[in-house]
Amino acid sequence: MGRFGGAYFFHYFCKIMQSQTDSELGKIEFVRSERAKNINIRIAKDNLRVTLPRRATETEAMRFINSVRERIIRKQNKLKNSALENNLMLNENSPLKTLTFSVEMKPTERENVFFSMKNAVLTVEFPQTADCADEKIQTVFWNGINYFLKKEAKRVLPERVRILADEYGFSYASVKIQSSKTRWGSCSQGKNINLSFSLMLLPQHLVDYVILHELCHTKEMNHSVRFWQQLDKVTDGKAKILRAELKTKTYVLPNL
């Protein structure tokens, strides 16, 4: 009996056997596990990693793969489309760079997902059999990464607001770091600035643009001509260019 999609938290001792290429599924790599009880398939957008129990053969594995081929192809297409529409799909082939640290994804023999931060690198270790195309495992990844994003946002963003406010002569009441999934930032009538911790996924010049955008709202609470003139003044005339860059599919708020 095979296991489609893989279990998330199994711990196997695996030995690489060999690989072959399939015209539809891409490279198929077979590994032998002494602890595996079922054939497990880990799906990437252009390859498969198949874990075999001790007595299973590659012929049996291919028979199982062919029995669920259409489902595998649908998952691969979903992963490809997600990669095109959202650069935040995480796997070992998709490293992530944040404002203050990088994320390294490592398939290992662990039974669970483990996060460790050292020297500005967040290492995410996950089971080799985990199906990274599955939304559930992506949620596990992002829950852990978001913890570190939020900590870094609280450390970095309020100070950046202070620096830019001092540089351009703005005043504000407070800065709060929030978990907004719908907007990068906002400013209240009382000049309280709210910033999403997801800003940490943007490059510095766009982080500064969002902060300056909200600081300009401390003087103009709408998007009038005067607001854009003010924002142009503090962005060297690039307000509309920066806004357009922020709205591209390159930078999206993660919804997990």
In the chain, which ranges are E strands? Answer: 2-3, 14-22, 26-33, 39-44, 47-52, 96-97, 102-108, 114-118, 121-127, 174-178, 185-187, 192-196
**Parallel, antiparallel, or unpaired: how do β-strands 47-52 and 26-33 relate?**
parallel
Structure tokens at 209: 């643009």
The 8-class DSSP code of residue 138 comes to H
Q: Are 191 and 171 in contact (CB under 8 A)?
A: yes
List, in order, residues 6 or more apart from 39 with CB less than 8 Å away: 1, 2, 3, 50, 51, 52, 53, 56, 60, 61, 64
Full set of structural domains in the chain with CATH:
2-85 (no CATH), 96-144 (no CATH), 149-246 (3.30.2010.10)
Indicate the residue type of 7: A
- pLDDT digit string, tens, across residues 177-210: 999 878 899 999 999 999 999 999 999 999 999 9
Distance of CA 190 to the CA centre of its chain: 33
CA atoms within 13 A on the CB side of 11: 6
pLDDT tens digits along 104-151: 999 998 889 999 999 999 999 999 888 888 878 888 999 999 999 999
Confidence of residue 1 (pLDDT cuts 50, 70, 90): very low
